[in-house]
Chain A
Amino acid sequence: MWAYWQSVPAHWREIPARYRLEGGECQDCGYRMIPREDICPKCGSRNVKPINLPRKGNVVNYTVIWNAPRGYEYYTPYVIAIIELEDGTRLTAQLTDVEPSDVKEGMEVEMVLRKTRVSGESGLIAYSYKFRPLIK
């Protein structure tokens, strides 16, 4: 099935966001977003500049995935959360290094870089941000 392999160019072009949390900041209304949009979703401005988003935030909402999509079945159960970064920017991310039953709303988390999608034994290893509870 198509979903078995991660497209290489489709991952490659997202590397700035996936490795470094590069998002966008609207130069007119200040709204921050990930991914960076060409048009600000808040005010419609075309003046959106790249910005590295903060690496810390907290868990706003979460779910524990027991029925994974293709390519993620090896990792169950895993947690998908909506994270609010320190600057208020929200994103959806996987949590890691945490017991699903220990996840709480408001839990402080920090960005780490982890394997997210591995295409079999011979394909691409797609790395991306995940978040984990603060170490200290």
Chain B
Amino acid sequence: MVYIVGVGLTPVGNHWSKSLRHLAVEASVKALEDYGKDVDYVVVSNMLSGVINGQENLGSYVVSHLGKIGTPAIKVEAAGASGAAASVVAQGLISSGMAERVLVVGVEKMTDYTSLEDTTSALSTAIDSEYEGFPGGTLDAMHALVMREYMKKYGVNREDFSYFPLLMHKNAVDTPHAQLRFKLKPESYMRSPMIAEPITLLDLAPVSDGAAAIVLSKEPDGPNGNAEILSVGHATDTIAIYRRESLTEMPAIRAAFSEALERANIERGSIDLYNIHDYSSVLGYITTEELGLAERGKAPELFKNGGADRDGPTPVNPEGGLKARGNPVGATGVYQIAEAFLQVTGRAEGAQVEGAKTALTLSAGGLASNVIIHLIRGV
């Protein structure tokens, strides 16, 4: 059994005066203070430090700046699922007896190159760089192909895609650490500039800096709340989407979800909220469909009709998701688990889902080519 026993978040945003190390240290110190005890292992999650910041070896980089020289430390990378992957590795360290208490810190510093071309190139390392990236494809373009397919298959229009970002922005207003804490007007969405048709700027997560940290322990010994990691489900899909049978289905999500449910031995009805990886509106929709929250092609209605609202029957991303909380990619998975931890321990402040006990987090790397689901319950 592995427990989440401490948490520390930096606000997500454009931190011009903070470097990778400042962010990582800030979140780590907060988490360690929240927990009140020391750790014997550090697992850093990050995707782009080599590409954007020219810095790898983040294990020793982070402990060096954290005043923990000597503590074993590594970096874990799985694109957008890096944070969840770091948690998986940390759980393995604890279950195997290699460690008793592990600091998992996710950090990403995306704004050190300010042109969109560079950020796009960096994020597009999550797709097949030789056979999707080289011809001029981008991560956004792959989401666009999925969105076009979704629109065609289910006969939905652009307006149907507005319900997703509208809810995310609405939720982020109440989330202290969110990046985009303002409501979105439907007409702003419809006027949003094209990135890769039919994907627009407001269909996508923003470019973000941020760091989130959690402490995992083999005992529920956190002074401010504890949660048990009931299970993890983890599955992969082809990195290149042209080799997939279908673009509107994400079999890795299905596989990870059924594995997680089986291992936790719980019914899906006992999940109180869903913290999903919405790099794009369409990925948000397909994910909710694969998780069984909506029939295929009906996710837009779920979001339109309030089914995914914070006080609805199946709350999705009560903190605002990648779209509005922000997406410091390699740190995002840790933010998701941290948010779920705060929810199931009743500490989510304005974002709190009333009475939440069990939460699901789903992190996805690439175009859902690496999917990790955590089921977390407050104890």
A residues near B (Cβ < 8 Å) are: 1-3, 10, 14, 33-35, 41, 61-73, 75, 78, 80, 82, 90-94, 100, 105, 116-117, 126, 128, 130
Contact = CB atoms under 8 A, between A and B. Distances in A.
Contacts of A72: 117, 136
A132 B139 CA distance: 23
Given A3-B122, A65-B137, A80-B196, 19 more contacts: A1-B51, A3-B51, A3-B121, A41-B238, A61-B247, A63-B197, A64-B197, A69-B117, A69-B124, A70-B115, A70-B120, A71-B121, A72-B117, A75-B136, A78-B136, A80-B136, A80-B141, A82-B241, A130-B135
Contact of B117 (A70, A91, A100, A130): A70
A117 B51 CA distance: 19
A66 B197 contact: yes
Interface stretch (B23-31, B144-152, B168-176, B255-263): B144-152
A64 B141 CA distance: 8
A35 B130 CA distance: 9
A90 B179 CA distance: 39
Interface of B: 51-52, 113, 115-118, 120-122, 124, 128, 130-138, 140-141, 144-145, 148-149, 152, 193-199, 238, 240-243, 247
Of A62, A66, A116, A128, most buried by chain B (CB within 10 Å of CB) is A66
Of A62, A68, A94, most buried by chain B (CB within 10 Å of CB) is A68
16 contacts: A1-B51, A1-B118, A61-B148, A61-B247, A63-B141, A63-B145, A66-B194, A67-B116, A67-B117, A67-B194, A67-B195, A69-B138, A71-B117, A92-B132, A93-B135, A117-B134
A3 B121 CA distance: 7
A73 B138 CA distance: 12
A86 to B, nearest CB: 16
Nearest to A103: B197
Given A64-B196, A67-B195, A35 B131 contact: yes
B136 A82 contact: no
Nearest to A72: B136
Contacts of B113: 1
Of B116, B136, B195, B241, most buried by chain A (CB within 10 Å of CB) is B136
Given A1-B113, A69-B120, A73-B117, A63 B131 contact: no
B141 A14 contact: no
A92 B124 CA distance: 14
Contacts of B120: 67-70
Contacts of B124: 69
Nearest to A129: B135
A127 to B, nearest CB: 11
Main secondary structure of the interface of B (DSSP, over half): helix
A63 B200 CA distance: 12
Of B198, B243, B247, most buried by chain A (CB within 10 Å of CB) is B243
A69 B121 contact: yes
A12 B63 CA distance: 40
Contacts of B134: 14, 116-117, 126, 128
Contacts of A10: 130
Nearest to A78: B136
A65 B243 contact: no
A64 B194 contact: yes
A34 B138 contact: no
Contact of B243 (A41, A62, A73, A94): A41
Contacts of A130: 135
B130 A116 contact: no
B193 to A, nearest CB: 7
A55 to B, nearest CB: 16
Nearest to B52: A1
A65 B136 CA distance: 8
Nearest to A18: B134
Contact of B196 (A2, A33, A41, A66): A66
Contacts of B138: 65, 67-69
Nearest to A66: B194
B195 A66 contact: yes
Contacts of B242: 82, 90-92
B121 A92 contact: no
Nearest to B130: A14
B133 A69 contact: yes
Contacts of B130: 10, 14, 35
B149 A61 contact: yes
A80 B240 CA distance: 14
A21 B234 CA distance: 35
